[in-house]
Amino acid sequence: MKLVFLGTGGSWPSKERNVTSIALQHNRDVILMDCGEGTQRQLMKSSVSFMQIEKILITHLHGDHFLGLPGLVQSMALNNRERPLEILCPIGTKDILNLFLSVGYFTRDFDVNIREVSDGECIDFAGYSIKAISADHVVPTLAYRFEEAPRKGLFDLDKAKQLGIPPGRLYSKLQNGETIEYKGKKITPEMVIGPKRKGRSIVYSGDTRPCESVLELAKECDILIHEGMVDDNLRDKANEYGHSTITQAAEIAKKANVGRLFIVHISPRYTLEDTPILEEKAKKIFPNTTLAIDLMEYEVKLRE
């Protein structure tokens, strides 16, 4: 599993940052989190194929989060995509997105299924789930939590030896969830396999003021991707317009006890030269912080 930060800026593209979009590659599928203008161009520069995108999670209908959709869908059509594309979005935005995707003289041979997601709704997919909650922005906005399905427990070799089970195919059967019989005694997988282990979890805030709902959604997650638009000297203005500062994002990460924080949606007023200075301020609050830059990749490793 890996994250590819396609666009890490907010409001409008700058010379150094495109607007918001993050790709999550899980096995062979790609989940795109927001799709600001120019996202398909960023995909061409990245290691991710736009034809692998299965789902797009739209947080809200501000242009820097969804204006890239028509071009991306048209590129899929021109490359003969056939399988459906699913788009998740806030309540009340489906009709707007459908109208938006109908613009342009092109046809497509695949379905685009737009699904409105309510506050607190959790949707199960093969191998993972996606939960949405309302964030605190100036328009209806969702934050999303990707939760990988639990993994099998670890095989306890000592317990297997204590039960006298010989190594080999009987071990494999137990690991595959089968009950075996050995020397007239039934042995179930639960007797030699530990509890299930948590899968990986990623939370993406979208645009938001610091709020309890995103904090709750992010608790104990492996990765939090939180907006942090400006330095703390602009806190009042940022909060007035429904945004967080870089240090407020770090405070959320600390309170939620996340594994790692990536800050995105950086204002175009800052250059890449400002990145280390801003990042250091966040690290004073939450040391495991990275101010993301465009086309950065990060491998999300399994917990032991």
Q: How far apart are the first and last CA of the chain?
A: 15
For residue 135, the domain's CATH number is 3.60.15.10
Asked whether residue 303 is domain-assigned, the answer is no
For residue 222, give Cα distances in angstroms to 27, 29, 231, 292, 303.
17, 19, 25, 16, 9
Ranges of beta strands (E only) in 34-141 are 53-57, 85-90, 112-117, 122-125, 128-134
Residue 26 shares a structural domain with residue 175: no
Residue by residue, DSSP assigns 1-29 as -EEEEEE-B-SS--SS--BSEEEEEETTE
Task: Please tell me the distance from the alpha carbon of residue 84 to that of residue 94, in angstroms, as a whole number.
Answer: 16
pLDDT at 97 over 70: yes
The percentage of the chain sitting over the pLDDT mark of 90, rounded to a whole number, equals: 81
pLDDT at 304 over 70: no
Determine which of 5-14, 126-135, 201-210, 295-304 has the lowest per-residue pLDDT on average: 295-304
Question: What is the per-residue pLDDT for 297?
Answer: 98
Question: What is the per-residue pLDDT for 75?
Answer: 94
Residue ranges making up the domain that contains 177: 157-191
Residue 102 shares a structural domain with residue 47: yes
Tokens at 181, concatenated: 């019989």
Residue 238 shares a structural domain with residue 204: yes
Residue 173 shares a structural domain with residue 236: no
Residue of 189 and 1 predicted with greater confidence: 1
Q: Which of 29, 34, 64, 158 is catalytic?
A: 64
Question: What is the per-residue pLDDT for 149?
Answer: 95
Residue 145 shares a structural domain with residue 165: no
Tokens at 266, concatenated: 């950086």
The pLDDT confidence band at residue 172, using thresholds 50, 70 and 90, is: confident
Residue 181 shares a structural domain with residue 230: no
Task: Please tell me the distance from the alpha carbon of residue 241 to that of residue 267, in angstroms, as a whole number.
Answer: 13
The percentage of the chain sitting over the pLDDT mark of 70, rounded to a whole number, equals: 100
- The 8 Å CB, 24+ separation contacts for 233-237 are none
Q: Is 64 a catalytic residue?
A: yes
Tens-place pLDDT, residues 182-193: 888 888 888 888
Residue 114 shares a structural domain with residue 236: yes
